[in-house]
Amino acid sequence: MVLPVSTKITLGDVTYEQPTGLFINNQFVAAKNGKTLATVNPATEKVITEVHAADKDDVDIAVAAARKAYKTVWKKTPGAERSKLLHKLADLMEEHRATLTAIEAADSGKPRNNNATYDVDECINVFNYYGGWADKIQGKTIMESDDKFAFTRHQPFGVCGQIIPWNYPLAMAAWKIGPAIATGNVIVLKTAEQTPLSMLYFGNLVVKAGFPPGVINIISGYGKDAGAPLASHMDVDKIAFTGSTATGKLIMQMAAASNLKAVTLECGGKSPMLVFDDADFEQAVKWAVFGIMYNQGQVCCATSRLYVQDTIYDKFVKAIKAEVEASTKMGDPFNDEVGHGPQVTDVQQKRVLSYIDAGKKEGATLVTGGEAGSSGNGFYIKPTVFADVKPEMTIVREEIFGPVVVVGKFSTEEEALELANDTIYGLGAAIFTQNITRAHKLANEIDAGTVWINSTNDSDIRIPFGGFKMSGIGSELGEYGLKTYTQVKSVQINLGSRL
C-alpha cells in the first residue's frame, strides 16, 4: 500500500490535515523509493503518523527543482518582492499558530503553553525581521585612487541545502530560511527524522504566501539517506547544519569532498555559567534553572556546567535544588500548567539516563532527580542536579542534551575562567556578578560565541548567534546572519591609462 501524501490528524484539541509527502516544487509528492518513517509522540509513545522518507533520487529531484527556480525566476526577483513574501509567511504563521503549536507539542514533546508557543512566535518574528532586510542587501563603493573606481556586490550562493535538528524543528528552520530567502537563495531543507511534521505543514504556508515553485523545498528522511546526499550534492552551493558536533564534522567532510561548498555549522555545546558571591542570588538561581531545564535540557547552548564561588556554594546548591523541584512541573505537553515535557525519543531518554548513571558511578553528589520521570508512558526524565563535580568527570566533559546540570565551585576569577574554558565547545556562557569590570573582563576572555551577563539563554533574533571551537562555524540571526548566505564580488573599473 502506497502512503498517501496527507492524512487527517487530531492532536489535543486541534484537528487538521497533515501533509506526509515530500514538498517539492510547491507540491506534496511520494518518495520515489516508497520508503516511509514513523514519527512518535514522546509523551504517549504512540505513532502519530508516517511520512515519506527521501533518498538520493528524491534529493536530486528537489535540488533540480531548486536550481530551475533560481535560474528562471528567483535570481531576478527584486528584494522588495522577497520582502513581501517573507512578511506574508509571517502573517500566515500567525493565522495558523494554534495548529503549528499543537504539532510542535505532540511531535517533539514541548509544553504547548510556553515552549511550543514561544517557538512559533519566534518564527513569526524572524520572518518579519528578515523581510525588513530583503530590499537592503547592499555592497560598498571603494575609491582607492583617481584611476580606479570599485564596488562590491553581495550575491546569493544559489541552491542552499539546510539540515535542521529535532529539538527546534520550526525555529531552526526559520533561522535558516529567513536570511537565505532575504538574500535571494533557494532552498532544499531536510527535516529531522524524529520531528518532521511541523515543517511539512509549513509547506502549505509557502504555497499560500505565493512563493514560486521550487524556491523552498522540504524533504523528510534519515541522515544517511537524505542528509548525506544533500551535503555532498555537486549542484548544492551551500550547506547549513544545526546538530551534533560529530555529524557536523561529517557534513564538513562531505562538503569539502564534493564541490567545496560553503558551510555554516551550529553544533554542540557544554556552556558554563559562573556565579560570583556578589551576584543577585535569587536571580542567579532562577536563571540557572531556566538555563538548563528549558525545553527539557535539549538546548545546544544550555548552561549545563554551573560554577559557583566557594563562599556561597553550599547555599546555592540548596537553593537550586528547591527551585528545580518547585518550578519544573512535569507532565502532558498539552496541559497548560506543565512546563517540563518528555525527551524527544526513547533513544534520547536512554542516552541521558546513561549519563546520569555515569555521574553516580564517578562520584558526583546527586542532589535531586536522577531517574526516569514517569511510571507510565512517555520518555520523561526528572530534572537532575549533580554537585561536587570534578573537571574529569564524564558528565562535565560531554554534552548530555537533557535536564541535567552539574555544579562545581571556584575561588578566584582566574580559576573561574580556567574552568569555563576547559571544554572543546564554545557556544555560550553566562556570568553573574554586580562587578561590571569583572563582567566585561571575563566576557572578553571566555571562548564562546555568546556570553550573557546576569541572564542566560535569552537570545534575541537581532543579535548574532554562533559557536567557537567545536561548536561550529559562522553566525545565524541578526545582520550577521545575512552574510553567511551571500558571497562578495568586487567589480573594478579602470579610469586611467596604462603607460
Same domain, 292 and 387: yes
What are the pLDDT digits (tens) for 344-368? Answer: 999 999 999 999 999 999 999 999 9
Among 68-82, 140-154, 368-382, the range with the most confident prediction by mean pLDDT is: 68-82
Q: What is the mean pLDDT of residues 104-122?
A: 95
* In a domain? residue 465: no
Whichever domain contains 352, its CATH number is 3.40.309.10
Same domain, 63 and 189: yes
Report the candidate in 81, 257, 243, 235 with the shortest Cα–Cα distance to residue 161: 235
Same domain, 431 and 290: yes
Q: Which amino acid is at 298?
A: Q
Q: Are strands 384-387 and 272-275 parallel, antiparallel or unpaired?
A: unpaired
Average pLDDT of the chain to the nearest whole number? 96
C-alpha cell at 374: 514517569
Same domain, 46 and 101: yes
Whichever domain contains 240, its CATH number is 3.40.605.10
CB 215 within 8 A of CB 187: yes
Q: Give the whole-angstrom CA distance, residue 403 versus residue 405.
A: 7
Same domain, 117 and 169: yes
Same domain, 169 and 228: yes
Residue 487: which H helix or E strand, with range? strand 486-494
Using pLDDT thresholds of 50, 70 and 90, give the confidence band for residue 1. low
* In a domain? residue 407: yes
Find the domain containing 117 and state its range: 6-267+475-487
Q: What is the mean pLDDT of residues 225-250?
A: 97
Same domain, 142 and 244: yes
Q: Which neighbouring-strand residues pair with 366?
A: 386
Q: Which amino acid is at 193?
A: E
- Look at residue 375 in the predicted model and tell me its pLDDT: 63
Q: Give the whole-angstrom CA distance, residue 110 versus residue 353.
A: 19
Position of cell 552574510? Answer: 483
What are the pLDDT digits (tens) for 144-186? Answer: 788 999 999 999 999 999 999 999 999 999 999 999 999 999 9
Q: Is a pLDDT exceeding 90 seen at residue 437? A: yes
CB 79 within 8 A of CB 134: yes
Q: What is the mean pLDDT of residues 305-331?
A: 96
Total domains in the chain come to: 2
Percent of the chain with pLDDT over 90: 96
* In a domain? residue 499: no
* In a domain? residue 219: yes
Q: Give the whole-angstrom CA distance, residue 5 versus residue 49.
A: 11
Same domain, 260 and 290: no
* In a domain? residue 230: yes
* In a domain? residue 169: yes
Using pLDDT thresholds of 50, 70 and 90, give the confidence band for residue 376. confident
The neighbour count for residue 437, using CB atoms within 10 Å, is 8
Q: Are strands 238-242 and 159-163 parallel, antiparallel or unpaired?
A: parallel
Q: Give the whole-angstrom CA distance, residue 124 versus residue 171.
A: 9
- Look at residue 499 in the predicted model and tell me its pLDDT: 79
CB 330 within 8 A of CB 380: yes
The neighbour count for residue 491, using CB atoms within 10 Å, is 11
Q: Helices marked H in 163-294 — which ranges?
A: 169-182, 197-209, 228-231, 245-257, 281-293
Length in residues, the chain? 499
- Look at residue 411 in the predicted model and tell me its pLDDT: 98
DSSP state of 297: G
Q: What is the mean pLDDT of residues 7-12?
A: 96
Using pLDDT thresholds of 50, 70 and 90, give the confidence band for residue 143. confident
What are the pLDDT digits (tens) for 405-417? Answer: 999 999 999 999 9
Same domain, 261 and 276: no
- The residues annotated with a catalytic role in the active site are 266
Report the candidate in 309, 268, 306 with the shortest Cα–Cα distance to residue 287: 306
The string of DSSP codes covering 395-453 is: HHHS---SSEEEEEEESSHHHHHHHHH-SSEESEEEEE-S-HHHHHHHHHHS--SEEEE
CB 476 within 8 A of CB 465: yes
